[in-house]
Amino acid sequence: MIPELGHFALIIALLLALTQAILPLVGAQRGNLTLMAVARPAAQGQFLFTAIAFACLAYSFLTNDFSVENVARNSFSQLPEVYRLTATWGSHEGSLLLWVLTLGFWSTAVSVFSRHLPEDMAARVIGVMGLISVGFLAFLLTTSNPFERLLPAAMDGNDMNPLLQDWGMIIHPPMLYMGYVGFAVAFAFAIAALLSGKMDVAWARWSRPWTTVAWAFLTFGIMLGSWWAYRELGWGGWWFWDPTENASFMPWIAGTALIHSLAVTEKRGAFKAWTVLLALVVFSLSLLGTFLVRSGVLSSVHAFATDPARGAFILGFLAVVIGGSLALYAWRAPKMVTGSGFTWFSRESLLLANNVILMAALGSVLLGTLYPLFIDAMGLGKISVGPPYFNAVFVPLMAPALFLMGIGPLARWKDASLPDVVTRMKWALGVALATGLLLPLTLDGFNPWASLGFFLAAWITLAVLAAFIDRLKHGQGGLLQKLAGLPRGFWGMQLAHLGMAIGVAGIAVVANYSTERDVRMEVGSYAELAGYTFTFRGTTEHDGPNYRAARGTLEVSQNGKPVATLHPEKRIYNASGSGMTEAAVHPNIFRDVYVALGEQLDDQGAWTVRLFHKPFINWLWFGALFMVVGGFMAASDKRYRIALRRSEVPKHLAAQGA
């Protein structure tokens, strides 16, 4: 009964999405306020019914209703409750439902926080988001119904993929989708602007906070995914350039570019056409990522069941949405007049350079990800593109971008003075160079890449410091007062940039100074790595809720002093019989000590054990968290709220003026 209710709710959601898409768009075109007024309630209703459908599916999972095919395939009676809940979005169907739910959430958020917009703009934005909802709801209902019954019911389920049974996976997909799908708002704003023909500065101001929030969520989602892969795959790696990872990374790169070009468009009215195009591209990349992961055109660690009918549906949808929006862009682009000019050295030109570099980096990732597909489609063979390509191309591209990151925020709009910036940053350059050259010497030998990383991290950090000093020189009051008086937009930007510096420092160390050993360990034997002594105390049988495990005990000590006792596990899951390595990690701010069990070698209890020493790995996650906090902070800047309050009074004027 409950699954049927869910199915029914999904159908109602589709009908509401159709209403949300068609009536407001027609209304906006004809200037009909009654039709435009349908947008908000329809969006909220669509979200409500999608949420009901989602709740029904979650209920089926929680109550182990194995007469629902999706539950039987992806859950198991012994699965702990929290994973039964997360199994709701662990399957292809469930994760698409989460996608639609997230889109409904964003549409509702827009419907609530768009009171200050001219009616036709709000109606168009919500209508465009409705169109996207229609596509995905139709996709769910026609090819991927999550409520499909299985008759007769299965005795028990196949279990959730053991890799996903981890708490990082509980919040990773929702966060990632909040980011992915959140870019739909910027996309809808861009389409609405193109439709109305009014691509003014106001458009950029409205989309900015939405874009920044989506970007912050995506950053958090990617960070969680990376952290999960690091702990769960048992190889000690944190980024694999897997197509699925790239699928989330490409919108992030483009989104980063968009945040910066939106700043120029809002403040200076420049790059209008480019910013609109970028907003279209970012969400197109989100859709592209969905297509790549769902259709199975690329092989990846994310082994969802693939089905050509589904792939064909998404591709068709992709062609309509992206093709349509790019055609609209090509048609309307000539109407966009660019703002005031700027000289070769100004904040505009530096942000332009940022965009150019980010686009080149995006292109290189896109090419590497799709290259195997191109080659295969042209019948030239089967190849795969791995980390060597990406590292060789991506790192040299990002280095100049990181360097410019130090100068950009210090340069003035329109026309900056190069000698002035040079004078102000001379000392910083010197200190950063010295750091880059000397710091690697305190570590395990000199390495040019680590040196470059340290230089850039120090450079960005000092630039952040210089920006603060610059701001604090003026104004009155005590230091704390002045700090509190700085706009949140400034704080947000500096925090995010500092986060980048922290992350870069972390990557420079972990990529160049990590050590690992594969050793054969008997009970009582020990091995050394990076100054730590690992003593193997054997394994014991251990029963989990839905698995059996061999649980190892390793005592870690340094200079004779005990540091930690670690319990890595080798698990066999009851339902699927598949094996899983559960690594054990002892973290601190300067390093992780990481152990994973390999294979049992004999009856005496000898095992192969993998030992890792990962210095500064946690800086990566800290850096990402700084960026997330920075993003949210920037989006909550007073300017946006003032704009909101101000426009509440002369609403009819705003509608007329727009």
Partner 1 sequence: MKRWLPLVLFVVLVGFFAKGLFLNPREVPSPFIGRNAPAFTLPLVGDANAAFSPADMKGKTWMLNVWAPWCVSCRQEHPLLMQIAQSGRIPIVGLNWKDKDREAAPLLARTGSPYVAVPEDLDGRVGIDYGVTGTPETYLIDQAGIVRLKHIGPISPEVWKTKFEPKLKELGA
Instruction: Give whichever of 12 and 318 is closer to partner 1, judged by the CB atom.
Output: 318
Check residue 154 for interaction with partner 1 (CB under 8 A). Answer: no
Locate 523 and state its tokens: 């009970």
Locate 304 and state its tokens: 């969802």
Give Cβ neighbours of residue 175 (< 8 Å, ≥ 6 apart): 217, 218, 220, 221, 224
Check residue 281 for interaction with partner 1 (CB under 8 A). Answer: yes
Smallest gap from Cβ 461 to partner 1, in A, equals 37
Check residue 296 for interaction with partner 1 (CB under 8 A). Answer: yes
C-alpha distances in angstroms, 132 versus 284, 317, 559? 12, 9, 60
43: nearest Cα among 146, 136, 128, 118 = 128
Instruction: Give whichever of 312 and 472 is closer to partner 1, judged by the CB atom.
Output: 312
Where does residue 34 fall: left (phi above 0), alpha (psi -120 to 50 degrees), or beta otherwise?
A: alpha
Site string for partner 1, 374-403 (x = CB under 8 A): x-xx----x---------------------
Site string for partner 1, 261-280 (x = CB under 8 A): ------------x---x--x
Instruction: Give whichever of 22 and 606 is closer to partner 1, judged by the CB atom.
Output: 606
Cβ atoms of 498 and 460 within 8 Å: the answer is yes
Smallest gap from Cβ 378 to partner 1, in A, equals 8
- Collapse the DSSP code of 594 into the 3-class scheme (helix H, G, I; strand E, B; otherwise coil) and give the result: strand
Q: Which of 11, 33, 305, 373 binds partner 1 (CB under 8 A)?
A: 373
Q: Which of residues 523-582 bind partner 1 (CB under 8 A)?
A: 577
Site stretch for partner 1 (CB under 8 A), options 86-94, 215-223, 291-299, 582-590: 291-299
Site string for partner 1, 73-92 (x = CB under 8 A): --------------------
C-alpha distances in angstroms, 173 versus 57, 137, 165, 376? 17, 19, 13, 30
Smallest gap from Cβ 375 to partner 1, in A, equals 10
Check residue 370 for interaction with partner 1 (CB under 8 A). Answer: yes
Site stretch for partner 1 (CB under 8 A), options 170-178, 195-203, 205-213, 369-377: 369-377
Q: Which of 102, 161, 295, 494 binds partner 1 (CB under 8 A)?
A: 295
Question: In 413-433, which positions are buried (b, 16+ CB within 10 angstroms) versus exposed (e)?
Answer: ebebeeeebeeebeebbeebe
Smallest gap from Cβ 370 to partner 1, in A, equals 7
Q: Give me the sign of the Cα torsion angle 458, 460, 463, 465.
A: negative
Smallest gap from Cβ 70 to partner 1, in A, equals 18
Residue type, 268: R
Smallest gap from Cβ 202 to partner 1, in A, equals 23
Smallest gap from Cβ 222 to partner 1, in A, equals 23
Smallest gap from Cβ 608 to partner 1, in A, equals 15
- Collapse the DSSP code of 303 into the 3-class scheme (helix H, G, I; strand E, B; otherwise coil) and give the result: coil
Smallest gap from Cβ 255 to partner 1, in A, equals 17
Check residue 298 for interaction with partner 1 (CB under 8 A). Answer: yes
Instruction: Give whichever of 158 and 535 is closer to partner 1, judged by the CB atom.
Output: 158
Cβ atoms of 504 and 515 within 8 Å: the answer is no
CA distance 71 to 62: 9
| Phi/psi of residue 609, nearest 5 degrees | -130, 135
For residue 8, count CB atoms less than 10 angstroms from its CB and return exposed for 0-12, middle for 13-18, buried for 19 or more: middle
Smallest gap from Cβ 327 to partner 1, in A, equals 6
Site string for partner 1, 308-347 (x = CB under 8 A): x--xx--x--xx--xx--xx-xx--xx-------------
Question: In 169-184, which positions are buried (b, 16+ CB within 10 angstroms) versus exposed (e)?
Answer: bbebbbbbbbbbbbbb
Instruction: Give whichever of 330 and 392 is closer to partner 1, judged by the CB atom.
Output: 330
Instruction: Give whichever of 380 and 479 is closer to partner 1, judged by the CB atom.
Output: 380
Size of the site for partner 1 (CB under 8 A): 33
Locate 407 and state its tokens: 């100068």
H-helix or E-strand containing 449? helix 448-473
Smallest gap from Cβ 273 to partner 1, in A, equals 8
Smallest gap from Cβ 374 to partner 1, in A, equals 6
Cβ atoms of 27 and 33 within 8 Å: the answer is yes
188: nearest Cα among 131, 125, 127, 99 = 125
Locate 583 and state its tokens: 């690594």
Instruction: Give whichever of 299 and 540 is closer to partner 1, judged by the CB atom.
Output: 299
For partner 1, the binding residues (CB under 8 A) are 273, 277, 280-281, 284, 291, 295-299, 308, 311-312, 315, 318-319, 322-323, 326-327, 329-330, 333-334, 370, 372-374, 376-377, 382, 577
